Amino acid sequence: MQYEELMTARQTSLDEFFLV
């Protein structure tokens, strides 16, 4: 997995967390 993909996945997880 590339670094950018890892950061994108993390950002998505954070967005979903705050949307809850």
Q: For 3-16, what is each residue's pLDDT tens digit?
A: 788 778 888 888 88
Q: Where are the alpha helices (DSSP H) in the chain?
A: 3-19
Give the Cα separation of 7 and 20 in Å (integer): 20
Classify residue 2 as left (phi > 0), alpha (psi -120 to 50) or beta.
beta
Q: Is the dihedral of CA 9, 12, 18, 19 positive or negative?
A: negative
Chain-centre distance for alpha carbon 1:
13
Of the pLDDT bands very low, low, confident and very high (cuts 50, 70, 90), residue 1 is low
Is a pLDDT exceeding 80 seen at residue 19?
no
